[in-house]
Amino acid sequence: MTDLRLGIILRSQSTDWPAMLDAARRVDRLGYDHLWTWDHLYAICGDPYQSIFEGYSVLAAWAMATERIRLGLLVGANTFRNPGLVAKSVATLDHISGGRAIAGLGGAWFDLEHEAHGIDFGSGFGQRLDWLDESVAAVRRLLDGETVTSEPGGRYAFDRAIHHPVPVQRHLPIMIGGGGEKKTLRTVARYADLWNVFGSPDELARKDGILRAHCADVGRDPSLIERTISCTMLIRDDPAEGRRVWAEQMEHNRTPREDWDGPETFWDGNVEQVAEKIRRYTTLGFSTVIVELPAPYDVETIERLIGEVKPLVDAG
């Protein structure tokens, strides 16, 4: 028997607030495990200048409108904020939600939004991942109620920083997104409670092995890290209908055909076909699937994934 866990990412671009709120309430009511949104200042699919909402503001509003689902950014752009502000924002969200916050963190990658807003993008991805490792260490300690003073020569300059109130959760979980094998996975091994990645089963089996090696190096039990896989998804019994709906969604998001999701990240088909795609990952230990939905949010996929696909996967 599999105990499949499910999350939904509601893309924050090319939508309006009533639609995001309605979808969040539906996902909460149906019994999904967690709900996420992006952390971007510009749209990342298609036209970057189309409308998009800010992530932490969305989460705070969702916290008041939902009852049981866990909430987070997948993932927060480390470059956007001082990690002290991140820890304070996440702890505040935890209180607003009654203990349902997840701290999602990643190195950031979208150069255009940094350039447009004058945000330091660093010298390259390697430097940003060094910043991320230092940041996550500080966020973890601040969320745990510790006093943080930075070591000389790093990116940040904390001087006896301490936060009150601490989160409602005794251990507020950290999600780290990314598959970089030398730096990101080592940060995951050190600090993450959840790891999010995408790719083929063969690729992720290999990366999981690298993560386990990093865990051994830092003395961390790899079973403490929940493996999560991301994808986009559309469930339809009729393939032609599925293609029509997806094409309409991509047109709505001003996304050209050449930028549509590839076969390893776009899981479409009927209930049985989607369940089989999920099983390829659950057998590797990726027990959580997080489905990213573009606007307009597809109600049929939301309802059938948890109502029909999950029971099939759980039954084995």
Please tell me the predicted confidence (pLDDT) of residue 263: 62
Please tell me the predicted confidence (pLDDT) of residue 21: 98
Confidence label for 261 from pLDDT (cuts 50, 70 and 90): low
Q: Is the pLDDT of residue 2 over 80?
A: no
Please tell me the predicted confidence (pLDDT) of residue 1: 63
Eight-state DSSP code of residue 148 = B
**Angstrom distance (rounded) from CA 198 to CA 288:** 12
Q: Where are the beta strands (DSSP E) in the chain?
A: 5-10, 34-37, 70-73, 76-77, 103-106, 174-177, 194-197, 226-235, 266-269, 288-293
Q: What percent of the chain lies above the pLDDT cut of 90? A: 95
Please tell me the predicted confidence (pLDDT) of residue 256: 85
Are the beta carbons of 52 and 40 closer than 8 angstroms? yes
Is the model more confident about 1 or about 238?
238
Domain boundaries, the chain: 5-315
**Angstrom distance (rounded) from CA 53 to CA 114:** 16
Please tell me the predicted confidence (pLDDT) of residue 119: 97
Please tell me the predicted confidence (pLDDT) of residue 137: 98
Please tell me the predicted confidence (pLDDT) of residue 53: 98
Per residue in 58-112, pLDDT tens? Answer: 999 999 999 999 999 999 999 999 999 999 999 999 999 999 999 999 999 999 9
Per residue in 215-233, pLDDT tens? Answer: 999 999 999 999 999 999 9
Please compute the mean of the pLDDT values over residues 149-167 and round it to a whole number: 96
pTM of the complete model: 0.94
**Does the domain spanning 5-315 belong to CATH 1.20.120.80?**
no
**Residue type at 3 in one-letter notation:** D
Cβ-based neighbours of 316, under 8 Å, separated by 6 or more: 1, 2
Q: Is the pLDDT of residue 203 over 70?
A: yes
- In this structure, of 76-85, 90-99, 145-154, 250-259, the range with the lowest mean pLDDT score is 250-259
Helix then strand then coil, in percent of the chain rounded to 5, is: 45, 15, 40
109 CA to centre of own chain: 14
- What's the whole-number average pLDDT of the chain? 96
Per residue in 102-140, pLDDT tens? Answer: 999 999 999 999 999 999 999 999 999 999 999 999 999
Strands 194-197 and 266-269: unpaired
Please tell me the predicted confidence (pLDDT) of residue 265: 85
Are the beta carbons of 142 and 161 closer than 8 angstroms? yes
Please tell me the predicted confidence (pLDDT) of residue 262: 65
Please tell me the predicted confidence (pLDDT) of residue 191: 98
Please tell me the predicted confidence (pLDDT) of residue 310: 98
Per residue in 9-32, pLDDT tens? Answer: 999 999 999 999 999 999 999 999
CA distances from 180 to 48, 130, 152 (A): 25, 12, 26
Tokens of 310: 């999950």
**Angstrom distance (rounded) from CA 315 to CA 1:** 6
